[in-house]
């Protein structure tokens, strides 16, 4: 007998020792002991092609004469394994929190549990809906964050837990996030001097989407006449102190989300400062390596071929000393002693 979650009883199967089994749904419900001469105390049932309607409390009753009847119950829980997928979402080019990834688990019973594994400071939103099959559920979890360069290209993992799974199911996705320009200026090596030619300042910008414009200026206004802006580069034909010394150059970069700016202060020297060439640096490194190697070899040689010599205080450690009478000592030191 089966009682559904509402408590309504339904007769499932009856086994009579003389008449045999009587089963309502014989195509999928069977007694394990099907023969009349089998073990009459084995009333175990086999149920195939489970559905949600099979869930409930099953009661087994033994009727014997003249001792009467006995019964026991067991709860049958019907599980449905979910199918899970994860996908990356393409956010809008705006600087506000929005969904960047979505994890969907379909057809689970009971509803699966979803969480996200990430070192980002994101937020999670979850919804539950009825599944395609009766009694199943579809769970959708979205991962949201404010777009930034720290988010773009990072991996997040959707973890799905369910009673039907031997271990949690992991689904990883790489996020795509727009962000405004992050700007730096390169090309200045702190050794610009009067008369130097053909130098270039480069405005390096990282952004998503790509920059739409570059604008060069100085902290005091327009660019010097000796400079020529060309996109993300500022060309300087000849360095002179009058127009470039202590000048702060600004580069402003814009994309669809906003703008970013960097600055670089130029100091012009009268003459070129000596600098180490690549060959000189290599020579210094080789010299240091040789010195260290010689020092180590010398230490090993001294340790192996110059054994330790004990100090004088330790050489006569087996000598015994005793007190001597002063009179006897004086007699022994006298030149006439013994004559």
Residues 195 and 169 reside in one and the same domain: no
Domain assignment present for 318: no
Within 10 angstroms of residue 137's Cβ, the number of other Cβ atoms is 19
Domain boundary, last residue among 76, 102, 129: 76
| Residue 275 forms part of a structural domain | no
Residues 201 and 168 in one domain: no
The set of residues, in sequence order, having a beta carbon less than 8 Å from that of 337 and lying 6+ positions away, is: 331
44 and 96, same domain (yes or no): no
What pLDDT score does 37 carry?
54
Through-space distance between the first and last CA atoms of the chain, rounded to whole angstroms: 138
Alpha-carbon separation of residue 296 from 5, 215, 282, 283, 289 (angstroms)? 83, 58, 21, 20, 11
User: CA nearest 260: which of 206, 200, 201, 202?
Assistant: 206
* CA dist., res. 68 & res. 185, Å (int): 95
Nearest by Cα to 216 from 188, 251, 182, 184: 251
Quick one: 172 and 221 in the same domain?
no
Least Cα distance to 45 among 29, 59, 58 occurs for: 29
Residues linked to residue 254 through DSSP beta bridges, in sequence order = 213, 259
Query: Which pLDDT does position 137 carry in this prediction?
Result: 96
End position of a domain, from candidates 60, 76, 92: 76
User: How many CB atoms sit inside 10 A of residue 21's CB?
Assistant: 15
Full strand arrangement of the beta sheet holding 169-174: 113-117, 155-161, 169-174
- DSSP states of 55-120 as a string? -EEEEEEEEETTTEEEEEEEEE---B--EEEEEE----SSSS-EEEEEEEEEEEBSPPEEEEE-SS
Q: 154-171: per-residue pLDDT in tens?
A: 999 999 999 999 999 999
Contact between 65 and 18 under an 8 Å Cβ cutoff? The reply is no
Same domain? For 103 and 173 the reply is yes
CATH code for the domain of 105: 2.60.40.10
Rounded CA-CA distance 23/26 in Å is 5
Residue where one domain finishes, among candidates 269, 294, 324: 269
**pLDDT tens series, the chain, 339 aa:** 677 767 778 888 887 777 778 888 878 888 876 654 556 677 788 888 888 888 888 888 888 777 778 888 888 899 999 999 999 999 998 889 999 999 999 999 999 999 999 999 999 999 999 999 889 999 999 999 999 999 999 999 999 999 999 999 999 999 999 999 999 999 999 999 999 999 999 999 999 999 999 999 999 989 999 999 999 999 999 999 999 999 999 999 999 999 999 999 999 998 877 665 667 677 777 888 888 888 787 877 777 776 655 544 444 444 444 444 444 444 444 444 444
Query: Would 287 be classed as within a structural domain?
Result: no
Asked whether residue 199 falls in the same domain as residue 161, the answer is: no
Give how many domains the chain has, as a whole number: 3
**CA distances to 21, 83, 98, 169, 262 from 103, in Å:** 48, 11, 15, 12, 39
Same structural domain, 128 and 102: yes
Alpha carbon of 126 to those of 10, 73, 104, 142, 263: distances in Å?
A: 37, 37, 10, 7, 45
Structure tokens at 52: 């949600």
Q: Give the containing element (helix H, strand E) for 299.
A: helix 278-305
pLDDT at 319: 45
Q: Is residue 320 part of a domain?
A: no
Q: Give the predicted TM-score (pTM) of the model.
A: 0.66
On whether residue 326 sits in a domain, the answer given is no
Residue 42, in any domain of the structure = yes
- 186 lies in the same domain as 263: yes
60 phi/psi in degrees, rounded to 5: -105, 125
Q: Which domain holds residue 242?
A: 180-269
Sign of CA dihedral 207, 116, 157, 80: negative
């Amino acid at each position: 007998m089966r009682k559904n979650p509402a408590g309504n009883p339904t007769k499932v199967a009856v086994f009579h020792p003389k008449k045999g089994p009587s089963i309502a749904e014989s195509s999928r419900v069977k007694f394990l002991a099907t023969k009349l001469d089998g073990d009459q105390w084995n009333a175990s049932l086999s149920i195939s092609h489970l559905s949600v309607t099979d869930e409930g409390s099953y009661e087994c009753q033994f009727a014997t004469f003249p001792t009467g009847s006995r019964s026991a119950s067991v709860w049958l829980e019907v599980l449905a394994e979910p199918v899970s997928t994860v996908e990356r979402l393409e956010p809008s080019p705006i600087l506000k929190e929005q969904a960047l990834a979505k994890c969907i688990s379909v057809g689970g019973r009971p509803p699966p549990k979803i969480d996200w594994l990430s070192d980002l400071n994101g937020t999670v939103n979850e919804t539950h809906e009825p599944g395609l099959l009766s009694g199943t559920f579809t769970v959708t979890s979205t991962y949201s964050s404010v777009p930034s360069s720290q988010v773009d290209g990072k991996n997040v993992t959707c973890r799905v837990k369910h009673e039907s799974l031997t271990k949690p199911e992991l689904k990883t996705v790489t996020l795509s996030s727009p962000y405004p320009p992050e700007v730096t200026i390169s090309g200045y090596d702190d050794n610009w001097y009067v008369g130097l030619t053909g130098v270039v300042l480069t405005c390096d910008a990282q952004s998503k989407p790509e920059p739409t414009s570059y604008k060069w200026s100085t902290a005091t206004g327009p660019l010097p006449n000796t400079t020529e802006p060309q996109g993300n580069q500022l060309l300087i034909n000849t360095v002179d102190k009058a127009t470039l010394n202590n000048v702060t150059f600004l580069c402003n970069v814009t994309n669809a989300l906003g703008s970013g700016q960097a600055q670089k202060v130029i100091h012009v020297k009268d003459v070129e400062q000596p600098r180490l060439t690549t060959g000189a640096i290599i020579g210094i490194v080789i010299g240091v390596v040789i010195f260290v190697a010689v020092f180590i070899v010398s230490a090993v040689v001294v340790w192996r071929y110059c054994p330790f010599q004990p100090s004088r205080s330790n050489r006569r450690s087996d000598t015994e000393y005793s007190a001597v009478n002063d009179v006897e000592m004086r007699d022994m030191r006298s030149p006439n002693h013994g004559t």
